[in-house]
Amino acid sequence: MTKELASYKQILLDKRDELLKELGQFKEKEVSSAPKDASGENSAYSFHMADVGTDNMEREKAFFFATREGKYLTHIDQALERVEQGTYGICPDCEKPIPRDRLLAVPTATRCVPCKEKAEQR
């Protein structure tokens, strides 16, 4: 593995660790905002309907972010797999190297910019 490829791998691993921490925080939020016991002050029923709406919105927002972060985690894992296979940083369409600036900006990039634009137009 070249020194440059090793540096991309480290970038991906760092992003993966950061993402896993964020997902852990989403999970903690979800657990802490779950409905409580149906007795007294810890009741699942809030004192006001607006509180119920806010609680539901926060859970939906946490679910949305966790889903989005989960998809990004999949892209990171796929990029790490390409590093191991030796295909990382090579556009599968034109088979040319993906520019360094693009890989630094989007470490999970699978295509060079011209090929990505062509793929999005299809």
Which pLDDT score is estimated for 104?
A: 94
> Bridge partners of 90?
97
Q: Per the confidence metrics, is the pTM higher than 0.85? A: no
Residue at token pair 């990505």: 116
Whether pLDDT at 80 is above 80: yes
Whether pLDDT at 100 is above 90: yes
User: Mean per-residue pLDDT for 79-88?
Assistant: 95
